[in-house]
């Protein structure tokens, strides 16, 4: 039954997307406003299709309907309910369904939000583009990635369950949906960008319309990436949180271009510059989400030649090529009208700092993209196998990271247009002292290494600069008779809160990657070992059969205090035992325990111990970034009360029409 309902729902979604596109196309061609308005109902049908298909899939999973191939391959009777629900995004077909659901949701919210403007051609085109993307994903489900395919032959009585790593930690219920809310959210600004190109309405109004959508998508993606790192740390057991794995890079690439965009878009709003560049960044962000799906879902990473074996790889690749080609053609076609009326006045100014920021982010994205696909390219060209791993990415991206921290420190202090030396002195002096004294204090406390010291110094510099900006806002709010908390809302203030989150993440990254210690100890019950000032005492082991797995847990006392239980899980269908680490989290350092070798005949185990400082600040920083995005997206008071920094005093109206009209 689920199969019938699901297949019908997918067909409904696909048909409604296509019919909606057709209606919009005809309405646009004939200038028929009534048709543009009717097209909105198709959006609700698309949403209905996606919701019904998801319901059918969840029903099939929860009722263990093994007549569905997806359930038979990924479900199991012994999997706990939570992981049965998350099984929907534990494999290819289901994650495409999640994608379609999120996309349909976004399109519906967009149609509802702009309901008064349904007959506006800009909006009609944007809806058409978004429905086109939806049609592609429903098409995938109707064809190569059908989640409702039936098993061939006899219906199995039970299945293997999802990948053991995906049923080990509740974060799996949050990380993928968050990530998808981010990924898919960029479809809306992308659709508006294409609509602006097609209609020729390339002024700044489509930017203003999609500003908040971009911010929300960016915030979800940020939180999704941090949750992914946290999941990796809590589940994978190697003690790290970021391995520059292609799957991680695929989520990080659109984040980089989107981060560049949320900065450079301010230059366009203020100065009407960088129009082509901003459109390109939106197109790049959206294309990179598609490319990421291709890289992670087509099997191309296992071998260049494997991906053609499943039809989904070529399908996504063709769609990616189509998106890039259409976008480039449109930008080329509108090239003349895109010429920016504004120009940079001085190399030391806010807009120049944003330009440098964009160059740095673009370089960052280029390095990550090159490192990710280089092995594929080399293998495709001459058949050689090589790997590009963490050492490459760390070395190549560290200088870019330092540059970005530096820019983050000075840019908020720079006024638009042109900065006077006096202004810089007044605004940067104490943040610069904060950075310098931080470095001096770290050295005095015996910390060594150029990389981490630079990172700490720049982080303190940037953090102090952000705090200073917030302080200015608070004082301005007080003067305006508003409560101080009001000064945290609005884009620039929320942005400063995001910067503080970035500072925390940078400190956590630098400290944990530079000053960590790791060791393995072979311990008999009652024996202790010491690493980096922390003692671990092995007490004993327990074995427990629980539902779908057999768990061997070691009891380890850390620093004479609480007992932690790193474990190994044996799943009936999994060949390899899956370790689950146990972490003592603290504000200064984490003690990360893994059970490497279960007890032998004499009861001796091997315990992996990993002591890393300041790891928890990565998660706190990620939370602050998410919170800051929320503050930034909150409808803020218009300037000048909320925004510190001088405004352009006099603009030339005929050269920067957008500034005047806004």
**Site of interaction with another protein (CB under 8 A):** 237-240, 243-246, 343-347, 352, 355-356, 359, 362-363, 366-367, 370-371, 374-375, 378, 384-392, 395-396, 400, 425-426, 429, 432-433, 435-437, 439-440, 442-443, 447-450, 453-454, 457, 472, 476, 520, 579, 594, 596, 608, 644, 646, 649-650
Beta carbon nearer to another protein, 183 or 277: 277
Beta carbon nearer to another protein, 62 or 344: 344
| Nearest approach, Cβ of residue 420 and another protein (Å) | 9
Beta carbon nearer to another protein, 109 or 388: 388
| Nearest approach, Cβ of residue 479 and another protein (Å) | 8
Q: Which secondary structure element, helix H or strand E, spans residue 590, and what is its range?
A: strand 589-597
Q: Are 363 and 369 in contact (CB under 8 A)?
A: no
Q: What is the DSSP string of 593-657?
A: EEEEE---TT--EEEEEEEEETTHHHHHHHHHHHHHHHHHHS-PPPTTTS--SPPPS---TTT-H
Q: Using CA atoms, how far apart are residues 102 and 323, in angstroms rounded to an integer?
A: 20
Kindly report the backbone phi and psi dihedral angles of residue 427, in degrees, each rounded to the nearest multiple of 5, phi listed first.
Answer: -90, -25
Q: Are 592 and 219 in contact (CB under 8 A)?
A: no
Handedness of CA 274, 277, 283, 284 (dihedral sign): negative
Beta carbon nearer to another protein, 45 or 243: 243
- Please name the residue ranges forming H helices in 334-446: 350-382, 390-410, 421-444
| Nearest approach, Cβ of residue 133 and another protein (Å) | 30
| Nearest approach, Cβ of residue 411 and another protein (Å) | 14
| Nearest approach, Cβ of residue 453 and another protein (Å) | 4
Q: Using CA atoms, how far apart are residues 84 and 60, in angstroms rounded to an integer?
A: 10
| Nearest approach, Cβ of residue 358 and another protein (Å) | 9
| Nearest approach, Cβ of residue 392 and another protein (Å) | 5
Pairing mode, if any, of strands 578-580 and 567-570?
Answer: antiparallel
Beta carbon nearer to another protein, 11 or 243: 243
- CB atoms < 10 A from the CB of 80, how many? 13
- CB atoms < 10 A from the CB of 471, how many? 14
Q: Are 166 and 85 in contact (CB under 8 A)?
A: no
Q: What is the DSSP string of 197-226?
A: HHHT--SSHHHHHHHHHHHHHHHHHHHHHH
Q: Using CA atoms, how far apart are residues 651 and 175, in angstroms rounded to an integer?
A: 46
Q: Using CA atoms, how far apart are residues 573 and 265, in angstroms rounded to an integer?
A: 50
Token pair for 182: 């981010």
DSSP 66: T
**Rg value, the chain, Cα:** 27
Beta carbon nearer to another protein, 151 or 356: 356
Beta carbon nearer to another protein, 23 or 372: 372
Of the candidates 465, 372, 453, 454, the residue with the CA atom closest to the CA atom of residue 410? 465
Handedness of CA 388, 390, 395, 401 (dihedral sign): positive
Burial of 109 (0-12, 13-18, 19+ CB in 10 A): middle
Q: Using CA atoms, how far apart are residues 502 and 253, in angstroms rounded to an integer?
A: 17
Beta carbon nearer to another protein, 154 or 387: 387
| Nearest approach, Cβ of residue 288 and another protein (Å) | 17
Beta carbon nearer to another protein, 147 or 579: 579
Beta carbon nearer to another protein, 75 or 246: 246
| Nearest approach, Cβ of residue 347 and another protein (Å) | 4
Beta carbon nearer to another protein, 205 or 565: 565
Beta carbon nearer to another protein, 292 or 457: 457
Beta carbon nearer to another protein, 330 or 346: 346
C-alpha torsion 326→331→335→338, nearest 10: 150
Q: Using CA atoms, how far apart are residues 26 and 32, in angstroms rounded to an integer?
A: 8
The residues, any chain, with a CB within 8 Å of residue 329's CB and separated by 6 or more, are none
Query: Collapsing DSSP states into helix, strand and coil, what is residue 285?
Result: helix
């Amino acid at each position: 039954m689920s199969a019938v309902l699901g297949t019908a729902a997918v067909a409904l979604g696909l048909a409604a997307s296509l019919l909606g596109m057709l209606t919009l196309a005809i309405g646009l061609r004939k200038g028929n406003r009534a048709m543009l308005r009717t097209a909105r109902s198709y959006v609700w049908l698309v949403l209905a299709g996606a919701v019904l298909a998801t319901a059918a899939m969840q029903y099939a999973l929860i009722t263990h309907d093994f007549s569905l191939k997806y359930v038979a391959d990924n479900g199991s009777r012994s999997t706990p309910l939570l992981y049965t629900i998350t099984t929907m995004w534990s494999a290819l077909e289901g994650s495409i369904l999640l994608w379609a659901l999120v996309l349909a949701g976004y399109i519906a919210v967009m149609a509802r939000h702009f309901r008064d403007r349904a007959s506006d051609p800009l909006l009609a085109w944007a809806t058409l583009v978004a429905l086109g993307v939806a049609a592609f994903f429903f098409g995938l489900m109707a064809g190569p990635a059908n989640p409702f395919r039936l098993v061939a032959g006899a219906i199995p009585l039970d299945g293997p369950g999802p990948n053991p790593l995906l049923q080990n930690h509740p974060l799996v219920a949050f990380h993928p949906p968050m990530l998808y809310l981010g990924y898919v959210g960029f479809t809306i600004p992308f659709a508006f960008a294409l609509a602006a190109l097609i209609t020729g309405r390339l002024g700044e109004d489509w930017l203003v319309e999609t500003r908040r959508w971009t911010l929300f998508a960016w915030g979800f993606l940020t939180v999704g990436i941090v949750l992914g790192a946290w999941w990796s740390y809590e589940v994978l057991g190697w003690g790290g949180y970021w391995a520059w794995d292609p799957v991680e890079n695929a989520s990080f690439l659109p984040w980089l271009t989107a981060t560049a965009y949320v900065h450079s878009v301010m230059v366009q709003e203020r100065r009407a510059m960088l129009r082509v560049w901003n459109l390109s960044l939106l197109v790049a962000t959206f294309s990179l989400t598609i490319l990421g799906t291709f890289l992670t879902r087509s099997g191309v990473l296992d071998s260049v030649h494997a991906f053609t074996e499943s039809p989904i790889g070529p399908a996504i690749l063709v769609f990616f090529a189509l998106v890039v080609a259409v976008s480039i053609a449109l930008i080329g076609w509108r090239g003349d009208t895109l010429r920016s009326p504004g120009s940079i006045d001085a190399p030391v100014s806010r807009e120049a700092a944003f330009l440098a920021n964009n160059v740095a982010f673009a370089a960052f994205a280029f390095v990550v993209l090159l490192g990710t696909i280089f092995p594929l390219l080399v293998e495709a060209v001459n058949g050689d196998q090589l790997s590009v791993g963490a050492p490459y990415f760390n070395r190549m991206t560290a200088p870019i990271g330092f540059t970005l921290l530096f820019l983050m420190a000075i840019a908020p202090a720079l006024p638009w247009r042109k900065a006077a030396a006096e202004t810089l002195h007044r605004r940067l002096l104490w943040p610069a002292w904060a950075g310098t004294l931080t470095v001096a204090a770290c050295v005095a406390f015996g910390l060594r290494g150029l990389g981490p010291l630079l990172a700490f110094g720049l982080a303190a510099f940037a953090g102090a600069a952000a705090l200073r900006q917030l302080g200015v806002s608070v004082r301005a709010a007080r003067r305006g008779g508003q409560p101080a908390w009001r000064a945290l809302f609005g884009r620039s203030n929320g942005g400063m809160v995001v910067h503080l989150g970035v500072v925390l993440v940078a400190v956590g990254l630098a400290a944990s990657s530079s000053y960590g210690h790791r060791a393995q100890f072979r311990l008999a019950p009652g024996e202790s070992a010491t690493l980096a000032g922390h003692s671990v005492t092995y007490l004993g082991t327990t074995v427990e059969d629980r539902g779908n797995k057999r768990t061997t847990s070691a009891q380890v006392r850390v620093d004479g205090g609480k007992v932690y239980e790193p474990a190994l899980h044996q799943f009936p269908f999994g060949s390899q035992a899956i370790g689950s680490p146990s972490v003592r989290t603290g504000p200064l350092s984490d003690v990360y325990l893994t059970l490497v070798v279960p007890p032998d005949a004499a009861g001796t185990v091997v315990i992996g111990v990993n002591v890393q400082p300041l790891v928890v600040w990565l998660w706190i920083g990620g939370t602050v970034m998410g919170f800051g995005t929320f503050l930034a997206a909150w409808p803020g008071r218009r300037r000048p009360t909320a925004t510190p920094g001088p405004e352009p005093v006099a603009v030339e109206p005929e050269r920067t029409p957008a500034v005047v009209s806004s």
